[in-house]
Amino acid sequence: MNNLQILALQAPSESEETGGSILQTNTESQRIEEDLREEKEIRELVLNSLPGLFFLMNEDLHLVCWNKNLEEISGYSTKELTGMHPHDFFVDRDKGLIAEKFREVFECGKASVETHLVTKSGDCIPCSIRASSSLINNKTHMIATGIDLIEKIEAEKLLYQLSRAVEQSPCSVVITDTEGTIEYVNPMFSQITGYSLDEAIGQNPRILKSGRTSTEEYRELWETLIAGGEWRGEFNNRKKGGETYWEYASISPIKNADDVITHFLAIKEDITARKTIERELHKSKAELLVNHEQLKSLFQQVERTKREWENTMDCIGDVVFLVDFENRIKRTNRALHEFTGKAFKEISGMVWQDLLMASGILIPSPCSPGTELCHSPSGRWFIFSSYPFTDSSLNAVSGAVITLHDTTEVKRFTSELEKAYSELKATQARVVQQEKMASIGQLAAGVAHEINNPMGFISSNLGTLGKYVERFNDFIKAQSELIESLADKDAAAALREKRKVLKLDYLLEDGFELIKESLEGAERVRTIVKNLKSFSRVDEAECQDSDINECITSTINIVWNELKYKVNLVKDLGDIPFIKCHPQQLNQVFMNLLVNAAQAIEKQGEITVRTWHESGSLFASISDNGCGMTPAVINRIFEPFYTTKEVGKGTGLGLSITYDIIKKHNGEIMVESEPGNGTTFTVRLPIIMEG
């Protein structure tokens, strides 16, 4: 310290050097300046090389010089530290103590204190200060050195933490000297072995020997430790109570600063439970080896069965795949790959709806089992089915098995069968209708024939009766005139009275009216019979020249009872030529159209019947001002069995038969209708029918 003081304080000052240099030559002056500069650099180097803090104070306790460590730790610059009182950079609570220690230095020559240095930024740094007094240039100065205690405090803290870690370690910790005498054990050692700290201290670890560890193992252990190595291994030791246990030990030497072994550290873990488990595992392993072979055989059988089942599923023409709860594909059969043209890696994990829609199948929402799906690109049809899939390991539904059954051929055959069946039913209906009309014709012809005979003599007898009554009337008139001419006025009066009482004049007059009405009624019956005969056309089944106006008129007479109560019938029958046709069939057409027109009128309305010819065709139209039809209904009215009437009030065959009859006549039937504005059916027939 005195050497440092001499270096720092007894060097000549610049003023002295400068004063001396005036008497010397310039060369001598330069040499002295260089020596002084070199001396100053050496002094600063020595000061700054000192560890910790160093500062020198004069008798007024102002800083005279210091090392760089003080500047770096305190944060004050050289200018700020110059002349500064050290009392100013210690914490307030220690300033009284610091002042007391400074007095102690001047009185006793030295003192030391632990305090906190306050940096310029306000941080508190723990430090230990040692100070002593010294005479420099016959003046008392105080030299102080300081040590930063942060590392010491951190080391003590770390040591405490390590100590607590050892105390609380789940492993037992044993420290022995080089002879193997126990100097320390942690609580876990006592907990495992049953020996307390006091019982263990001074003992040798061989108190734990059970005799199950060989001498060779102990020899190898000591050779490793003495050589400075770390030994690891297992011991089967005995506790204080005689119970044996297993432990895994890691023993290593502890060396001092001179690399000399001073102690041995053993860290040991109780592995008794693990050893028990290992024994059980070895036992189980032997059993598992036996079971493994059995399972291997079983797995091979399962694998064969799986491949057989997969091959079986691949042979099925239906598309089959398994999906999870998120509708993502997990497994499929070959049919799906062939249908989509994608490998399993591409399909796996896809949402099945997205896959099928990308392949050209439109998936409705919702898609319930039994739904028909169409693959537009190929025209193939499938029946969609879905079955819940139960995971046996979870005993719960984990997804669904979805199948697509190809029904293209079945649908084609079914469609053809339905078409043939519809045609058969339509043909049957037409045959039945034709037979019905034929039966009606036969009945009408028979009725007409049977009625004509009695109506003939009824009409004849009524005519004869009229002549007879006329003669009786003439005779009564002549008789009355003769009686009036006789002289017996009383007899004439009595006769007149008798004639009046008997109402002979009224009876004669009314008799003529009755005969006249009866004759008119008989004529009407004859007309009806004639119309029936004309409508039935029993004798006209073959194609022949016919008057369509006559057909329409006879048909109107037949259905008049259907029309007369709510229809105002307007007939506009033009001058049309005869055409070659089947009149009985056309009567059926006009009857269907007239009845439909009447049924389209709810209360009161009007039906207009027109005929005309132009451009080699004959036209007949029947219009009504009834409820009319929508375009959707118009598109289907000629379909067999399609009807808009209530159940039981129509078969849906009338217009279908009508359409068929017109087509057989090489004609056509047209419809114009609007809802609420009535309907017009127009029949076009060629005047000259070909074929």
Average model confidence (pLDDT) for the chain?
79
- pLDDT per position as a tens digit, 261-319: 888 888 888 888 888 888 888 888 888 888 888 888 888 888 888 888 778 888 887 88
E strand intervals along 637-677: 668-673
- Residue 249 placed within a domain: yes
Residue 474 and residue 492 in one domain = yes
Total number of residues shown for the chain:
691
pLDDT at 14 (0 to 100)? 45
pLDDT in tens, 70-83: 888 888 888 888 87
Answer yes or no: do 140 and 217 share one domain. no
Q: 7 and 128 in one domain?
A: yes
Q: How far apart are CA 78 and CA 81, in angstroms?
A: 5
Q: Is 141 a domain residue?
A: yes
The rounded radius of gyration (Å) of the Cα atoms in the chain is 68
> Is residue 305 situated within a structural domain?
no
Lowest mean pLDDT among 176-185, 195-204, 557-566, 596-605: 557-566
Residue 299 in any domain: the answer is no
Can you give the pLDDT at residue 609?
Answer: 92
Angle between helix axes 654-664 and 583-599 (nearest 10 degrees) is: 140
- Tell me the C-alpha distance between 536 and 647, whole Å: 30
Note whether 144 and 18 are same-domain residues.
yes
Residue 688 predicted with pLDDT over 50:
yes
- Is 679 inside a domain boundary? yes
- Determine the average pLDDT of the residues in 323-338: 86
Residue 462 domain-assigned (yes or no):
yes
Task: State which of 385, 405, 425 marks the end of a domain.
Answer: 405
Decide if pLDDT at 141 tops 50.
yes
452-463 burial code (b ≥16 CB/10 A, e <16): eeebeebbeebe
Q: Does 574 lie in the same domain as 513? A: no
User: Does 421 share its domain with 400?
Assistant: no
The answer on 127 and 30 residing in a single domain is yes
- Do 576 and 468 lie in a common domain? no
650 pLDDT above the threshold of 80: no
Q: Domain containing 261 — which CATH number? A: 3.30.450.20
In the chain, how long is the greatest CA-to-CA distance? 224
- Crossing angle between the packed helical segments 408-485 and 504-536, to the nearest 10 degrees: 160
Domain count, the chain: 5
Among 681, 537, 538, 684, residue whose Cα is nearest residue 597 = 681
Instruction: Provide the residue range defining the domain that includes 224.
Output: 169-270
Q: Is residue 480 part of a domain?
A: yes
Do the beta carbons of residue 20 and residue 32 sit within 8 Å? Answer: yes
Same domain flag for 232 and 341: no
Q: What pLDDT sits at residue 618?
A: 93
Residues 378 and 467 occupy one common structural domain: no
Cis peptide before 640 (omega within 30 of 0): no
**Residue 435 shares a structural domain with residue 474:** yes
Question: To the nearest whole percent, how much of the chain has pLDDT over 90?
Answer: 4
The last residue of a domain, from among 237, 270, 303: 270
Q: Are residues 676 and 547 in the same domain?
A: yes
**Lowest model confidence (mean pLDDT) among 115-124, 350-359, 435-444, 572-581:** 435-444
Please tell me whether residue 94 adopts helix, strand or coil conformation: helix
pLDDT at 444: 62
Residue 275 inside a domain? The answer is no
pLDDT recorded at residue 619: 93
